[in-house]
Structure 1
Amino acid sequence: MMTKSIIGKWHGLRQGSVGHRTVADILTGSSFLANMSVTHTYEHIFNKMVSALEWHPDYNLVLIGSRGGDISLVDLKNRTVKLCHRGGGRGQQITDIKCDLLDTNWYYTSSTSGKIIKQRLDGRDEIILKDTYISDEFYSSSRFSCIDVCPQRKLLVAGDSRGTIHLMPSCESESLVNSKTNCFSIGVHNSNILHTEFNKFNSDLFITASIDCTAKLWDTRMFSSHCSKPLLNIRHSHPLNSATFSLVNGSTLLITNYFDEISVYRGPNWQLERCIKHCHEQTQRFCLLKAKWHPLCELFLIGTFSSNPSVSGHYYDRPQAVDVIDPQNGQIKSSLSDGNPGVISISQFNTSGDIIAAIKGQNLIIFESIDSD
């Protein structure tokens, strides 16, 4: 049943093969990884570190945002970089980017400036969905850390630095956005929410992960400004970077903590299946290291880092890898690196699963599966 669902999903993405790879290669999870290597590096795209990355539904396009608030569109086919939005500099960090799947000319961003914005790729138009800036006091009451969008419900969820969840329409019109009755906020965590995500197979469910060491599962039908009781409250011993549902079946949940553990839970009861030990220590020098799923098979990838020199060396003078891991047994299927010093802080497969976009400082690195012929 799982294989049929994967192939069905695959058929809607591209016909026949993934670049040089067949569906069988992707399902086995070994052949395409064995031949992955760096095909191009886009250097110093911004004058500040890259802080967010999202693949566009067109598998050749990547959106990236910086700590200065800049947003650019990278075209892998033509190897061009186009500035979509000029940021304001300090205090404007782009914390998350999501594409509008109903109209791929638009995308959404969250930032530490306290704004949730829907913008056009050509930079000609934008709609501010949420703005917490208090003009009289010259500061933002909330810094947004993460967002996700559910196209089926036309709903956007955002998490902020105070542990508050904001639910709002993903915006059909300005008048709908400006209507306060269509947007509400409620505190659900004791500290910064670093990740929120809808379940792609059940649009009623979304999850939040926080620095307060908890991940909470919510049902939108039971969620209101007067009630905030989660379906499930998962407590850990360390702060959490992310909680993400499998893109293959929606019933496997990965929770990444701040330090050295990735927990695997299985639905529908969301019981802990295993804990995978993996070095991905958090430091303010680079962005959160989060596990990200492959879109067509149950593999995930995450960058590596340890502050212990005996484990990984000093990150600034020694190459660090991004690991592709099998959640069934915790086995590392492949470790990818460009061979240059530094930590790969953000990494993500494209929609067809044969290309990885990875961030190292101000650089975007592209890994592709290439035939060895």
Structure 2
Amino acid sequence: MSSRQTRARVNASKENMETEDKEEEEGDVDVSEPTEEDEDEDDASEPSEDDEEAEDSDFMKEIVMKKRYKLMRKAQETRKLNLKKYLKRISKISMESQKALAPKPKDLIHSLDLLNRGQYPSDRIRVAAEVCILSDLKEFSMYKLASPFDRRVTAIAWHPDHKATFAAASKNGDIVLWNIEKGEHDDFIHGMGPGGSIQAMKFSDRNTKQIYTASIDGTVSVKDFEGHANSTIHETPNFMVHWFTALDKSQLHNVLLAGDNQGFLYQFPLDLLTSNDHGKIKLHSSKITHVELSPRTPWEFVTASVDATVKVWDIRKMDPKIPLHTLQHDKPVNSAYFSHQRGDRLLTTDQHSQIRIYKGNSYVQERIILHPHRQFQHLTPIKASWHPLADLVIVGRYPDPNFPGFIQGERRSVDVFRAETGERSAAVVDPGVSGILSLNYFNSNGEALVSGMGQHLVIWKNVGKHEVVKEKLAKFRSRMGGGGSGRGGGGGGGGRRKRGKKGDEEDEDDDPVSKKKGKSGAKKGKRTPAKRSMEGNQRHEYVKEYYGKDIQCQSDMKLSVCTADKASKVPPHVKKCLGNVHDDILATYYGCGTPFPEGLEGSKILDLGCGSGRDSFVLSQLVGEQGMIVGVDMTPEQSGGELFFSDMYASLRVPEELKRDKVLWGEGLGGALWWEDLHTICQELGFWPPLIKEVLPIHVSEEALQRLNPLHCRRTVKDLPEGLRYVSVTYRMFKPEGKRASTTMAAVYDGNLPHSPDALHFAHDLFFKTGVAKNLSSDLVSILGSSRFGRYFTFGPVVEGEPVQEIVKIDPFGLQK
């Protein structure tokens, strides 16, 4: 193309841009533009081609910069307009807010006028807005409970244009596009299954029927809600080593940012997403959990990491050694969000109990809000977010008995804090919502809140005051359904995925062991039975192969961790039952204790993880003809009001490296649960704290580790994390049944329980002598009174001067001899 043709195109672009500016910037702040005389001025002499090309290049840059400026201005004006509309609407329903406003109507109008013209409102108007919003939030209740997934929700994103539509993603990689006004999903994109968890997603500004995703399958992708083929922007060479955990985009800078589990940040140009052109730079020492661009300062962005730091960067000049600011935390950090209204505050959430707020250009720590939201591996990490119209912090509560100020029976609510004071000013709660609300995000006008609760989506609204407007609903449906978009009614790949069995799920977000190694066809959501087996059952297959092929009898075990019952004191009546079990069954027993409680006559028992069936054969003799025993192996479900079992426990959380080791997992070391997590699980399932029945030591020696197959594990004791120990514990747990006791009482054991005529050793620290009264707390009274043991006890008034036995959380490692 000649330079004259290029110049003609540029001049045409100039004219189009001027027309758009006049149409879109009516009444806006003036932007300096060249005059007609400047644009049309021509020299008498013909300019050189070099001069023309330089001028063309400069002008194209000017076009791009003006376009970017208008995008930024549009976002700012949208936020101001939302707050203005909200104040007009909400101030009519709150007498309290009317008192907080200026005494004369002209003051409010004047303040809103300043806000609309781009000036910050006064403190009084900001406080008034918060009072209005808080009054509104106190009326929020559950509007809809949806369950589109068969695994937990991992990411949520509101549609940028349609305030009643949001997208949610799951641990299986599924994505649902949900329409609040319709009360159903518009589209459904099927994921790859286990190993395809989507960690973050953002709608595309260029095509809002598409969404960018970051996944632990090692891909950054573009998913299409109209049924078109999904495209992969980038795929890591080895998804077992590198996978993606965070995502954000900037139309202004034409860039898509993605963080991975190794602390690297990737930069993809939005106009070249189909190429491999990207930048990669290491910003953190470990996993990046969150990345977000600033709405106020468009060249700034923030990253959060499990290395316990939050860092602020300048996207124009990236130097990993020189962040603009480094904000050190005490614990790993889940998220870092800029405030919506001004963008001058930064909100961070750690993995235990701190929410921090930083303010200003220097990111000075404004305050720390103590809040219970501890990390748990089977729970989507809790992330505090902002209300879109005011500096209010929105975060899900995870009640913790060890947290200061804990109140027995406190609800799992969505808490609302004022950033200005740090006080908890409201809580969104509903009797029908009992789970932990990990993710909580408002739409842009603050009228609806969506929460991720396990595999469910909870939609909250002030139903009494903000009912659906039919006119808006009709308009919305015409916009979403018109033009042959293929939405709704199964179009574009919609429809809920048929739920399969969940028994083979592995519920750990960042553990790539459960990911499949062959990924052909995964990008299109095809999931054959063979692939599902590779994806969802890999760990189970490891264990099946290990115990079915590698281990043929107890002598094949390389460590002694699963034969701890040899050290247990087996009661005589149980030894007699063991004598009736076939030698082949006894030889293939790999249990970690002797889970045979007292008084089993007539009981119905489920033996989970029964293996070869040794315990099931013994229990069948103990329950008698009127009882029943069912043995189940390789299933995660648990049931019943009482659980009594033995297993191996660790002194701290087992690192991911050990979990991924096939032999260590098979031997029990890799999959051992941290004993404190057991208490957490009990609380989650509604059980009373577990009671220790028996503790047996497990010694992991240098000699034992050397016996492991060197092809799978080349380790020494020094390779194990400092302080990591193992122990076999037999626990008994009870789930409340019926009405709880409200007072402390004395209990007397009558000695009628078979095989325990003189005393009942109920738990490690709870021993009953026949005929001797013992004062018990109300919880212990409830356990004994409502369980099968109730018929062997008599309850009466407290014995004066005697101590009261409580349920105490005991560290089993402190009980080893």
What percent identity do the matched residue pairs reach?
Answer: 27
Counterpart-to-counterpart distance in 2, 1:312 and 1:95: 33
Counterpart-to-counterpart distance in 2, 1:200 and 1:336: 27
Aligned to 1:323: 415
Q: What are the equivalent positions in structure 2 for 1:78-157 lying under 5 Å apart?
A: 78-134=182-238, 139-157=239-257
Counterpart-to-counterpart distance in 1, 2:226 and 2:267: 27
Equivalent of 2:308 in 213, 235, 240: 213
Change (3 A) 1:113 1:186: same
Bigger RCO (CA 8 Å, 6+ sep): 1
Aligned to 1:193: 288
Q: Determine helix, strand or coil for the equivalent of 1:300.
A: strand
Shift of 1:16: 4.0
CA distances 1:66-86 after superposition (whole Å, capped 9, x unpaired): 100111101111111244321
Counterpart-to-counterpart distance in 2, 1:19 and 1:55: 24
Q: Determine helix, strand or coil for the equivalent of 2:382.
A: coil
Counterpart-to-counterpart distance in 2, 1:184 and 1:335: 43
Aligned to 2:78: 9
1:294 and 2:387 matched: yes
Structure holding more helix per residue: 2
Q: Determine helix, strand or coil for the equivalent of 1:334.
A: strand
4+ aligned runs moved over 6 Å, structure 1? none
1:56 and 2:153 matched: no
Counterpart-to-counterpart distance in 1, 2:188 and 2:392: 32
Paired residue type of 2:419:
P
Change (3 A) 1:40 1:186: same
| Contact 1:84/1:122, CA 8 A, preserved across alignment | no
Aligned to 2:120: none
Q: What are the equivalent positions in structure 2 for 1:180-259 lying under 5 Å apart?
A: 180=277, 183-223=278-318, 228-259=321-352
Aligned to 1:265: 358
| Contact 1:18/1:354, CA 8 A, preserved across alignment | no
Counterpart-to-counterpart distance in 2, 1:91 and 1:346: 21
Counterpart-to-counterpart distance in 2, 1:6 and 1:101: 12
| Contact 2:137/2:428, CA 8 A, preserved across alignment | no
CA distances 1:81-132 after superposition (whole Å, capped 9, x unpaired): 2443211111100111111133312211111101111122223132211111
Structure exhibiting the larger radius of gyration computed from Cα positions: 2
Shift of 1:145: 0.8
Change (3 A) 1:307 1:285: farther
CA distances 1:142-171 after superposition (whole Å, capped 9, x unpaired): 11111011121121111111111111113x
Counterpart-to-counterpart distance in 2, 1:12 and 1:108: 27
Counterpart-to-counterpart distance in 2, 1:26 and 1:115: 42
1:362 and 2:455 matched: yes
Paired residue type of 1:167:
Q
Change (3 A) 1:104 1:297: same
Counterpart-to-counterpart distance in 2, 1:20 and 1:113: 45
Equivalent of 1:39 in 137, 143, 157: 143
Equivalent of 1:30 in 134, 138, 144: 134
Change (3 A) 1:17 1:234: closer
Aligned to 2:263: 163
The CA RMSD measured in Å over matched residues stands at 2.6
CA distances 1:39-65 after superposition (whole Å, capped 9, x unpaired): 1111x2111111111111211011000
Change (3 A) 1:107 1:178: same
| Contact 1:50/1:359, CA 8 A, preserved across alignment | yes
Change (3 A) 1:91 1:221: same
Q: Determine helix, strand or coil for the equivalent of 1:178.
A: coil
Counterpart-to-counterpart distance in 2, 1:211 and 1:127: 30
Paired residue type of 2:215:
S
Aligned to 1:178: 275
Change (3 A) 1:301 1:363: same
Structure holding more strand per residue: 1
Equivalent of 1:337 in 392, 410, 429: 429
CA distances 1:9-48 after superposition (whole Å, capped 9, x unpaired): 3465598458964698755332211221111111x21111
| Contact 1:70/1:85, CA 8 A, preserved across alignment | yes
Aligned to 2:169: 65
TM-score (norm 2): 0.41
Aligned to 2:181: 77
| Contact 2:260/2:287, CA 8 A, preserved across alignment | yes
TM-score (norm 1): 0.87
Aligned to 2:439: 346
| Contact 1:186/1:228, CA 8 A, preserved across alignment | no
Shift of 1:191: 1.0
Shift of 1:299: 0.7
Change (3 A) 1:19 1:87: farther
Q: Determine helix, strand or coil for the equivalent of 2:355.
A: strand
Counterpart-to-counterpart distance in 1, 2:341 and 2:400: 34
Shift of 1:322: 0.9
Counterpart-to-counterpart distance in 2, 1:301 and 1:254: 10
Counterpart-to-counterpart distance in 2, 1:119 and 1:15: 35
Question: More deviation in 14-23 or 88-97?
Answer: 14-23
Paired residue type of 1:333:
S
Q: Determine helix, strand or coil for the equivalent of 1:186.
A: strand
Counterpart-to-counterpart distance in 1, 2:88 and 2:449: 13
Change (3 A) 1:45 1:185: same
Change (3 A) 1:338 1:352: same
Shift of 1:141: 3.4
Paired residue type of 1:101:
D
